[in-house]
Structures are given as C-alpha cells and as structure tokens.
Structure 1
Amino acid sequence: MFPKNAWYVACTPQEIDDKPLGRRICNEQIVFYRGPDGVVAALEDFCPHRGAPLSLGRVVEGKLVCGYHGLEMGCDGRTIAMPGQRVRGFPCIRSYPVVERHGFVWVWAGDAAQADPARIHPLPWADNPEWAYGGGLYHIQCDYRLMIDNLMDLTHETYVHSTSIGQKEIDEALPATRTEGEEVITSRFMENIMAPPFWKMALRGNHLPDDQPVDRWQICRFTPPSHVMIEVGVALAGRGGYDADPKDKASSIVVDFITPETETSIWYFWGMARSFNPKDKALTASIREGQGKIFGEDLEMLERQQRNLLAWPERSLLKLNIDAGGVQARKVLERLIAAERGADVKAAA
C-alpha cells in the first residue's frame, strides 16, 4: 500500500534529544535515539532478550539500554553487553538507514542497500537565513493517500476552512494538473479578489494593506513517496501575481511530509516556510498557530472519511476534474509499489 524503498520523515531532532523514541513507520516498529557523538541511530524496537520495546529504555554514553533487564545495544543492532551475561551469541536486530537533514530525521524502511541519502527531498530554504519556518506534527487515523488527495485538491478550503483560507473564488477558478516524471503539479490562480482572513494577516506581516484586491495562487507539488509542497500567496492586484516583486506580495511554501504509520494511520509533519520578514519571530509564531488550526480542521474530516470507507469497502468513489492531482499522484504510487513488489519477488526467487 505504500513504498518502503523511500525516505520518510520519522521525527524532528528535538523528539530524540534526551531519550529514545519509539515510532511505527510503514508498519515497522522502530526506535530512534542518538548514539555516540550525537549521531542519530534507528533500530528495530525489540530487545533480543525478552522482546521488550527498547524505546522504553534510556541512552547511556551513546548506548541504548533496555529498560527491562539492562541489555545494551549498539547502533548496528548488535548486543554490546548485559549485566552478568556473555552476549557473544545474541542475535542481531535490524538497523535502519537514518539521516538527520533539513531539520528532520529521515528513515528508510525498505532495502538498506538502496538507501542513497542523495534521494532525500531537497529543501533549499531549510538552511537559508533569508527564510523562516514553523511547523508541527499531527497523528491522524487515515490512509496516507487520503491526505495526499486532500492536499492536491484545495477546493475543500471553501468549506472546511471557511473562516481562515477558504473563499468562494476557489470554486470558480478551475485547477490545471500536469505530470512531470514522478512529480504531479496542480495549480490554481485567482485574480482581483479580496484576501481571506489568514492572508490578510500575512499581508499585514509584510507591511502591506489588507483591504485592497489581490491576486492569489496555489501550486501543489506531489513528490513520492508522500511529500506535498504547496506554493501559496497573494500579491496586490495588478502587480504581477505569482511573479510580483517580493515587496508587493506575501508568499510561502506549505510543507507537508506524510509518513504512513499503518494502512490507516499517519504521522503528518506540517509547516510553512516563508521568505518575507523572516526575522519576525512573533509573525512566525502567529502563522504557525493559524496554520495549526487550519490543519486541525482537516483532521476530523479525514478521520471520519476513513471510518466511512472502512464501513463501506464495496462503495466506489467518484473522480471529478478537481480530483486530477490526487488521481495522478495515486497512479505514480501504484507504479512505484508494483515495481518494488516485482523486485522483491525476483529477489526471493
């Protein structure tokens, strides 16, 4: 149901700064912690002694110590020591490729031999002082593909987010969808409209008037396995829209990393990166708070949608023109999953 030979965001660095973290990723139960010299490690969350979760233990001098009987694990999955025991014959547990980059911890849940760090999603703004970022994490009980559908069709903003970013003009501006290799892009442009509340706040944050007509854009980019980056913004009407001078617009990148936990649950890492007024920490906090509320509105809808789909598995769903982005994203995923399974079958043979 999801590709495993891919890099997924597992956690933020702060989540493992002082203790191990257990997290299920693509149905793999993994423990993350900082080994020697503070380098991130990822192991199967299973003590080879009695099967206790290693995530319930602690980290001592870069060694993961089981909280049940004190067994010590190395970053390679080998047992290092255990009080009163010789451990030479203890079986290894699985270790996972893991990289800390761009302010996230990334894990590869599939074939470790294919885990090339160069394939981690590029985030050119992440280490750029001219940009600011604020985000968070939601644990949502839904299929990861439902969240991709949600983000690739922003028509729902008019209804789910009517008090923040929604407006009727979204319905009136038909989206255009195209596929470039494995990337799917859906875009929508609105001209000479009034900004909704969230974007009025953003305009003020860039010292622009919030009571004048604007041109608005939404460009959603899906990249497998489950990353969606959305270029969004408003510019004072007639100043060039998307291509307007930075002084005439408020624009951002909505960051969405969707990590499958199981077939019906996800870890959703959300945030917004912006290049206007990046040193204003109060503005960053305000945008993060507003965006958190917006994504919180999606949460109930997606979870209830998932429950409906499980209750009526035989029901087929309509595919409308507004669904093109999600439909094309699913086709990309289906090709990748089929290729991965085919490779697994050949390897097994």
Structure 2
Amino acid sequence: MFPKNTWYVACTAEDLDTKPLGRTICNERIAFFRSDANKVAAVEDFCPHRGAPLSLGKVCDGKLVCGYHGLEMGCDGKVVSMPGQRVQGFTPVKSFPVEERYGFIWVWPGDAAKADAALIPHMEWHDNPEWAYGGGLYHVKADYRLMVDNLMDLTHETYVHATSIGQKEIDEVPCKTTEEGDTVITSRHMENISAPPFWQAALRAKQLADDVPVDRWQICRFTPPSHVMIEVGVAHAGHGGYDAPDEHKVYSVVVDFITPETETSMWYFWGMARRYNPQDQALTAQIREGQGKIFSEDLEMLERQQANLLTWPDRKLLKLNIDAGGVQSRRVIDRVLAAEQAQQVQPEGASA
C-alpha cells in the first residue's frame, strides 16, 4: 500500500532532543535517538532481551539504553553491553538509514542498501533569509492517500474552509492537471476576484491594500512517495498574477509531508514557507495558528471519510474531473509500488 524504498519525514529536528522517540512508519516500529556527536540513529523499537520498546529508555554516552533492564544498543542495532550479563552474541535488531536535513529527520524504512541521501527533496526556503517557515504535526486516523487526494483537489476549500481560504471562484474556475515524469501538477488561476479572509490578512501584513480585486493562484505538486508542495498567493489584479513583481503580491508554499503509519493512519507534517516579512516572528506564529485550524478541519473530514470507507468497503466511489490530480497521483504511487515489488522478486533458480 505504501512504498518503503524511499525517504519519509519521521519527525522534526526539535522533536529529537536528549530522549529517544518511538514512532511507527510504514508499519515499522522505530526508535530514533541522537548518538555520538549529535548524529541521528534509528533502530527497531524492540529490545532483544525481553521485547520492551527501546524508545522508553534513555540515551547515555551515545548509546540507546533500554528502560527495562539496562541493555545498551548501538546505532547500528548491535547490542553493546548489559549490566552483569554477556550479551555480545545477541542477534542485532534492524537499523534504518536516517538523515537530518532541512529541520526534519528523514528515514528510509525499506532496503537500506538502496538508500541515497541525494533523493531527499531540496527545500529552497530552509535557512534562507528571504523566507520564513512555521508548521506542525497532526496524527490522522486515515489512509495517507486520502490526504493526497485532499491536497490535489482544492475545490473542497469552498466548503470545508469557508471562513478562511474558501471562495466560490475555486469551484467556478477549472483546474488543469498535468504530469512531468512522476510529478503530478494541478493548477488553478483565478483573476479579478476578492481575496478571502486568510489572504486579506496576508496583504495587510505586507502593507498592501486588502479591499481591491486580486489574482489568486494554487499550484499543487505531488511527488512520490507522498509529498505535496502547493504554491499559493494573491497579487493585486492587473500586475501579472503569479508573475507579478514582489511589491504587488504575497506568495507562499504550503509544505505537506505525509508519512504513512499504518494502512489506516498517518503522520501529517504541515507548514507554510512564506516569501514576505520573513523576520516577523509574530506573523509566523499567527499564520501557523491559523493554518493549524484550517488543517484541523481537514483532519475531521478525512477521519470520518476513512470510517465510512471501512464500513462500506465494497462501495465504488465516483471519479469526476476535479479528482484528476488525486487519481493521477495514486497511479504514480501504484507505479512506484509495482516497480518496488518487481525488484523484490528473485530470479528463477536463485537461492532463498
């Protein structure tokens, strides 16, 4: 159901301090911790002594110490020592490739031999003085693909987010869907409309008039396994819309990292990178609070949608033109899964 030979966001760098963190990703129970020189490590969240979760322990001298009987685990999953016991012959637990980049901890839950840090997507806004970023995390009890559907079809904003970013023009203006390799792009450009409340506040924050017609854009980009980046913004009408000079527009990128936990649950890392007033920390906090409320509305909808789908698993769902982004994104996921499964099939005659 989900690719495993790929990078997922496990947590933020701030989430991982002096204590280990336990998190299930793609049905793998993983303990994350900082070893020597503050380097991040990830091992199976299972103590080989009595099966206790290693994430309930502590980190001491760069080693993960089980909180049950004090067994010490290295970052490679090998047992190092245990008070009063000989444990060097213990079978190692699984370790996972892990990288710290762009303020996130990334993990590769599949075949470690295939892990390549160069495949982690580049984030131009990280540590860039022209940008500011704020975000958060939701645990959502729903299939991660439902969130992909949600983000690749923004017509729901008119109804789910009517008091913040929704407006009737989203329904009225057609959305264009294209593919570039494994990237699926949906785009909508609305001209000469009124800015909704969220964007009125953004215009005021940049000391731009909020009561004049604007051009608004939404450009959603899905890349496997489950990342969605959405370019959003408004510009005073008549200045070029998306291509308007900075002094006439407010521009942001909605950052969505969707990490499967199980077949029916996910970790949803959301945020917004904005390219205006980057030094205004109060504005960053204000936007994060507002965005958190918006995404909480999605959370309730998706969890109830998942409950319905589990109750009526045989019901076929309608596919409309507005669903094209989600449908094509799922096709990409299916292609990635098929290729991954094909690589796992051993040639005829190979030994098991």
TM-score range, shorter chain: over 0.9
Query: Which residue identity does 1:259 align to in structure 2?
Result: T
- String of CA shifts for 1:112-160, please: whole Å, max 9, x gaps: 0110000001111112111100000000000000000000000000000
**SS class of match (1:220):** strand
- String of CA shifts for 1:32-51, please: whole Å, max 9, x gaps: 01001110000000001000
How far residue 13 of structure 1 moved from its aligned partner, in angstroms, is 1.0
Could you say which residue in structure 1 is the equivalent of 2:4? 4
- String of CA shifts for 1:299-325, please: whole Å, max 9, x gaps: 000000000000000000111000000
Taking the TM superposition and a 5 Å limit, the aligned residue runs for 1:68-217 are 68-217=68-217
How far residue 331 of structure 1 moved from its aligned partner, in angstroms, is 0.4
State the alpha-carbon separation in 1 of the partners of residues 51 and 92 from structure 2: 13
State the alpha-carbon separation in 2 of the partners of residues 94 and 204 from structure 1: 52
Could you say which residue in structure 2 is the equivalent of 1:236? 236
**SS class of match (1:346):** coil
Taking the TM superposition and a 5 Å limit, the aligned residue runs for 1:299-314 are 299-314=299-314
State the alpha-carbon separation in 1 of the partners of residues 266 and 206 from structure 2: 34
State the alpha-carbon separation in 2 of the partners of residues 277 and 202 from structure 1: 10
TM-score (norm 2): 0.98
**SS class of match (2:346):** helix
State the alpha-carbon separation in 1 of the partners of residues 317 and 295 from structure 2: 24
Taking the TM superposition and a 5 Å limit, the aligned residue runs for 1:252-331 are 252-331=252-331
State the alpha-carbon separation in 2 of the partners of residues 80 and 343 from structure 1: 34
How far residue 181 of structure 1 moved from its aligned partner, in angstroms, is 0.2
Query: Which residue identity does 1:91 align to in structure 2?
Result: T
How far residue 18 of structure 1 moved from its aligned partner, in angstroms, is 1.9
**SS class of match (2:186):** strand
TM-score (norm 1): 0.99
Could you say which residue in structure 1 is the equivalent of 2:42? 42
State the alpha-carbon separation in 1 of the partners of residues 255 and 96 from structure 2: 25
**SS class of match (2:87):** coil
Could you say which residue in structure 2 is the equivalent of 1:332? 332
- String of CA shifts for 1:75-97, please: whole Å, max 9, x gaps: 01111110001122111000000
State the alpha-carbon separation in 2 of the partners of residues 129 and 98 from structure 1: 27
State the alpha-carbon separation in 1 of the partners of residues 341 and 53 from structure 2: 29
Q: Once the two structures are aligned, what percentage of the paired residues are identical?
A: 73
State the alpha-carbon separation in 2 of the partners of residues 283 and 88 from structure 1: 54
Q: List runs of 5+ in structure 1 lacking aligned partners.
A: none
**SS class of match (2:345):** helix
How far residue 346 of structure 1 moved from its aligned partner, in angstroms, is 2.2
State the alpha-carbon separation in 2 of the partners of residues 204 and 21 from structure 1: 40
State the alpha-carbon separation in 2 of the partners of residues 107 and 17 from structure 1: 17
Could you say which residue in structure 1 is the equivalent of 2:23? 23
- String of CA shifts for 1:254-310, please: whole Å, max 9, x gaps: 000000000000000000001111001111111111100000000000000000000
Two-structure CA RMSD over aligned residues (Å): 0.8
Query: Which residue identity does 1:118 align to in structure 2?
Result: A
State the alpha-carbon separation in 2 of the partners of residues 206 and 11 from structure 1: 32
How far residue 206 of structure 1 moved from its aligned partner, in angstroms, is 1.0
- String of CA shifts for 1:50-108, please: whole Å, max 9, x gaps: 00000000001111000000000000111111000112211100000000001100000
State the alpha-carbon separation in 2 of the partners of residues 36 and 248 from structure 1: 49
State the alpha-carbon separation in 2 of the partners of residues 156 and 240 from structure 1: 26
State the alpha-carbon separation in 2 of the partners of residues 83 and 325 from structure 1: 56
State the alpha-carbon separation in 2 of the partners of residues 265 and 33 from structure 1: 23
State the alpha-carbon separation in 2 of the partners of residues 297 and 87 from structure 1: 50
State the alpha-carbon separation in 1 of the partners of residues 102 and 268 from structure 2: 16
State the alpha-carbon separation in 1 of the partners of residues 129 and 81 from structure 2: 44
- String of CA shifts for 1:213-272, please: whole Å, max 9, x gaps: 100000000000000000000000111100001110011000000000000000000000
Does 2:56 match 1:56?
A: yes
State the alpha-carbon separation in 2 of the partners of residues 238 and 346 from structure 1: 60
